């Protein structure tokens, strides 16, 4: 993706807004993402969070009292669905922040400084890329059976940054040859200021698009780890709902279908919304695609 010259903060956000709203797919994606966020973060304040176990209503059907039926413990599926969205979304977002922050800092330093620093950072990147993610999570889960969501996001961020780091490094290698960077060097502004004030702001659009992509990947990772039983059952969670549905053979019972399908639909809607937003943003922030 090509990189444009720097723009004021208001101009960058204005470009992002125009990029999302310039096409029907972008608007649909934005609406999907906002709808899921409202459902997950505002919904818990609009319902009664008390969801008691009722052994007389196990795998109950859809009714006026239980909009999506009940689960294997007789708990209301809709209430569990509303309460289960916050953790995977904010953990995925926190993991994306960590991923992007590490990739931007290390990629920027490696691409601008070059030499031995570049060599060492690339070696660290290669080593990190060889670490099997699932194996690492098995080890962590065995030592930290009560892992906090913040710990989960930190681990995901530490494992998923190398791929983006290489892309950032390549962009910095291109930008450092531009005239405005050469002018900054002639003014002896210093490496830190040139890199973080002159170079990286020119990549704001590229970084933002990759941040959205990182959220998508991190949410999948969180849900997948719950599905595989690698994380403890500490709270309501869409991934945990899918795992519980699988463990209790919900796919064999027609009345249990909402408990299995509902969290999958919510995850799918959130991911589809992010993907369509990303495509619109790429068209707005990439000069080669902007006029298409």
The mean pLDDT value of the chain amounts to 83
Q: Are 83 and 51 in contact (CB under 8 A)?
A: yes
Q: What is the fold of 86-235?
A: MetI-like fold (1.10.3720)
Which backbone phi and psi does 161 adopt, to 5 degrees?
-80, -25
Is 149's pLDDT higher than 50?
yes
Share of the chain above pLDDT 70, in %: 86
Q: In the chain, where are the structural domains located?
A: 13-75+237-292, 86-235
95 or 13: whose pLDDT is higher?
A: 95
Residue 93 and residue 221: Cα distance in Å, rounded?
Answer: 12
Say what the pLDDT of residue 107 is. Answer: 93
pLDDT, mean of residues 152-160: 85
* pTM reported for the whole predicted model: 0.84
106, two tokens: 């290390």
Q: Are 87 and 235 in contact (CB under 8 A)?
A: yes
Contacts by 236-239, CB closer than 8 A, 24 or more apart: 236/80, 236/83, 236/84, 236/87, 237/84, 237/87, 237/88, 238/81, 238/84, 238/85, 238/88, 238/263, 238/266, 238/267, 239/88, 239/263
Say what the pLDDT of residue 13 is. Answer: 65
202-233 pLDDT tens trace: 888 788 889 998 999 889 888 888 887 777 66
Q: What is the DSSP string of 7-73?
A: --HHHHHHHHHHHHHSSHHHHHHHHHHHHHHHHHHTGGGTS-------GGGTTPPP-SSSTT-B-TT
98-148 pLDDT tens trace: 999 999 999 999 999 888 999 999 999 988 888 777 777 677 666 665 567
Burial class (CB in 10 A: 0-12, 13-18, 19+), 201: middle
Q: Are 241 and 263 in contact (CB under 8 A)?
A: yes
pLDDT, mean of residues 30-47: 94
Q: Are 270 and 36 in contact (CB under 8 A)?
A: yes
């Amino acid at each position: 993706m090509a990189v444009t010259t720097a723009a004021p903060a208001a101009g960058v956000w204005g470009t992002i807004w125009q990029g999302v709203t310039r096409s029907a797919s972008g608007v649909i994606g934005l609406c999907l993402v906002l709808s899921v966020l409202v459902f997950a973060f505002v919904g818990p304040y609009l319902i009664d969070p008390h969801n008691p176990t009722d052994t007389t209503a196990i795998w109950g059907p859809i009714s006026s009292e239980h909009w999506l039926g009940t689960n294997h413990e007789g708990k209301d599926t809709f209430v569990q669905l509303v309460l289960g969205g916050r953790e995977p979304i904010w953990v995925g977002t926190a993991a994306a922040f960590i991923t992007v922050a590490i990739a931007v800092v290390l990629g920027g330093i490696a691409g601008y400084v070059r030499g031995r620093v570049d060599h060492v950072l690339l070696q660290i990147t290669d080593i990190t890329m060889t670490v099997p993610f699932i194996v690492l999570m098995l080890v962590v889960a065995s030592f930290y059976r009560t892992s906090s969501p913040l710990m989960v996001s930190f681990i995901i961020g530490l494992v998923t940054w190398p791929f983006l780091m290489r892309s950032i490094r390549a962009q910095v290698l291109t930008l450092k040859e531009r005239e405005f960077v050469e002018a900054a060097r002639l003014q002896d502004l210093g490496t830190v200021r040139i890199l973080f004030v002159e170079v990286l702001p020119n990549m704001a659009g590229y970084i933002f698009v990759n941040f959205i992509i990182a959220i998508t990947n991190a949410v999948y990772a969180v849900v997948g780890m719950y599905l595989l039983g690698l994380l403890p059952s500490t709270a309501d969670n869409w991934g945990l709902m899918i795992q519980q549905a699988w463990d209790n053979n919900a796919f064999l019972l027609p009345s249990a279908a909402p408990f299995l399908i509902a969290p999958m639909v919510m995850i799918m809607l959130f991911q589809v919304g992010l993907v369509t937003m990303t495509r619109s943003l790429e068209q707005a922030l990439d000069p080669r695609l902007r006029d298409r």
